[in-house]
Amino acid sequence: METAYLKTPLGVAKIMGDEKGIAVISIADEGEISSIIPVILEEAVNQLNDYFDGKRIDFTFQLNPSGTEFQQKVWKGLLEIPFGKTMSYLELSKKLGDVKAIRAVASANGKNPLWIVVPCHRVIGTDGSLTGYAGGLWRKKWLLEHENPTTQQSLF
């Protein structure tokens, strides 16, 4: 498993993967930035840079997260939330076929190993509130604003 550390506007992203795909993307407040990016991780690093530069709304590199069958199902559901849109935990539970699984869905969402790429930041509370985010609510708010910036209307 190869590892690279990438500076982002939200901290240092740790990217881990191999020939089967990217297994982990996580965020930390600080850390050593990689001066050399392993070839196997170059596409993921390039696409993440494009995302932060506002040039990319989806990711096309191979994913290989490790999780239970249920977690994999939830993460696949997250991949279907469009860029710039949000969905509540309740809506996601309904979409996955079991409204009563809301807590399990929220738990799987919180264990998502692929920060940004599997967009768990797009899941909000039923009342529209920013709820639970492993990277901190300030990062969730930043990501949602990055994906759906409000434009200032001219007064004149």
Q: What is the pLDDT of residue 149?
A: 72
Q: What is the pLDDT of residue 155?
A: 56
Place of tokens 């191999």: 18
Collect all residues with Cβ–Cβ distance below 8 Å to 7 and sequence separation of at least 6: 13, 33
Go through 33-66 and write b for each residue having 16 or more CB atoms within 10 A of its CB, e for each that does not.
ebeebbebbebbbebbeebbeeeeeebebebebe
Annotated active-site residue 18? The verdict is no
Closest CA to 23 of 83, 75, 96, 91: 75
Q: Give the pLDDT band of residue 154 (cuts 50, 70, 90).
A: low
Per-position DSSP letters for 93-115, written without gaps between them: HHHTT-GGGHHHHHHHHHT-SBT
Backbone phi and psi for residue 47, each to the nearest 5 degrees, phi listed first:
-70, -40
Cα separation, 44 vs 57, in Å, equals 13
Q: What is the pLDDT of residue 150?
A: 66
Enter the pTM of the model. Answer: 0.90
Report the percentage of the chain scoring pLDDT > 70: 96
Mean of the per-residue pLDDT values of the chain: 93
Q: Which two tokens stand for residue 120?
A: 């768990």
Structural domains for the chain: 2-52 (3.30.160), 69-147 (1.10.10.10)
Q: Give the pLDDT band of residue 55 (cuts 50, 70, 90).
A: very high
Q: What is the pLDDT of residue 133?
A: 84
Q: Which two tokens stand for residue 133?
A: 């985010």
Q: What is the pLDDT of residue 88?
A: 94
Which residue out of 120, 123, 124, 143 is catalytically annotated? 120
Indicate the range of 15-24, 34-43, 104-113, 124-133 predicted with least confidence.
124-133
pLDDT at 152 over 60: no
Bridge-based pairing state of the strands 87-88 and 123-124? parallel
Q: What is the pLDDT of residue 131?
A: 86
